[in-house]
Copies of this chain bind each other. A is one copy, B any other.
Amino acid sequence: MVSKNQIKLISSLHQKKYRLVNQLFFAEGTKVIQELLDSKLELQHLYTTQNDFQSVSLSNRTQISDADLKKISALTTPNSCLAVFKMPEEQTIEQKGIVVALDDIRDPGNLGTILRLCDWFGIEQVVCSVGTVDLYNPKVVQATMGSITRVKVVYTDLEKWIGNSKLPVFGTFMDGESVYETNLPAEGIIVMGNEANGISEGIEAKVSQRIAIPRFGNLQKTESLNVATATAIVLSEFKRKTSV
């Protein structure tokens, strides 16, 4: 049984302000929950419609009905389980390796996909502008497919943070140099911009190297790539060139 108060608490966690107040967030689905359980994150409570997750003690685990799961789920078609976790302490970013900097990424699916890409390419640090969608938004947690536990993410005044960094700063622009031809280093900041507006002016001024993904289609028409697919191509090029 899940109490009315628990339903109320979890429903509130769909909103960022209540996630912050309670320092809690939730994840859904066996795969993602198992990855979070295997990480350093602390479980607050697990709700499941099955008799699974037996390694979780009964004091932390409640079997619930499909109807109750539907009440607390953020998914149109809920999975069989939902788990509430405590937010970890805020992390810090070190000035080394490749750091991905996100300038107001608004779509939760894009942020989640970018974190999954960073995980794949062994990039451990992501810095987000304060206008970037919240890491603990349920759709972001879902789209990361567990990568959220392996990539450090901080939110900060991105312009100031980049200004204080000594790493070279790469940004993608239509008029940049082909990323296929550019010499890419093993250390640097890669800025990816907002879905509609690209990289903001203040941050553009701090970019030391303008790169571009060459376009082969109809030059009059095809306007842009989705930011997650653009990130995929740029990270692939950085890794291809620096891992030999």
Contacts and interface: CB of A to CB of B under 8 A. Distances in A.
Nearest to A145: B223
A146 B229 contact: no
A206 interface: no
A216 B239 contact: yes
A172 interface: no
A137 interface: no
Contacts of A88: none
Contact of A217 (B119, B217, B230): B119
Contacts of A218: 119, 122, 150
A229 B116 CA distance: 10
Chain copies in the assembly? Answer: 2
Interface in A185-244: 213-218, 221-226, 228-233, 236-237, 239-240, 243
Contacts of A171: none
A53 interface: no
A117 interface: yes
A147 B215 CA distance: 14
Contacts of A221: 35, 119, 146, 150
A217 B109 contact: no
